[in-house]
Amino acid sequence: MMTSINPLTTPRHQIRDEKDQRNREAALNAFIGKKAEIDEMLTRLQALSEDHFNAHPDEINWSNVGTLEHYASLLKRITDSAFREGEHAK
């Protein structure tokens, strides 16, 4: 349980420091949650890739190629941003 501070008797810097600490903790928790979401998506994508995106070799057509091209372009946007490449290069 968090102790409530009295704004009338607590120095401003202490109030600010405690607020900053709570904010950092909330940001860390949000970061960990988003990372877990990304990890789950990557795991699912990896499994789908290992299963050849649910495509049977005898049924591959240009529609399948177009779908993979679309997926690749979306992933490229992400990797370019994450690694500061392409339009995100400095």
Per-position pLDDT tens, the chain of length 90: 556 777 777 788 888 888 999 999 999 999 999 999 999 999 999 999 999 999 999 999 999 999 999 999 999 999 999 999 998 888
**pLDDT at residue 72, rounded to an integer:** 97
How crowded is the C-beta side of 9, counted as CA atoms within 13 Å? 3
Rounded-to-integer distance, Cα 56 and Cα 69, Å: 17
61 and 46 inside one domain = no
90 and 61 inside one domain = yes
**pLDDT at residue 2, rounded to an integer:** 56
Residues 6+ apart with CB under 8 A from 14: 5
**pLDDT at residue 13, rounded to an integer:** 83
Domain hosting 63: range is 57-90
Tell me the longest C-alpha to C-alpha distance in the chain: 76
In this prediction the pTM is 0.76
46 and 72 inside one domain = no
> What is the b/e burial string over 53-78, where b = at least 16 CB atoms within 10 angstroms of the residue's CB?
eeeeeeeeeeeeeeeeeeeeeeeeee
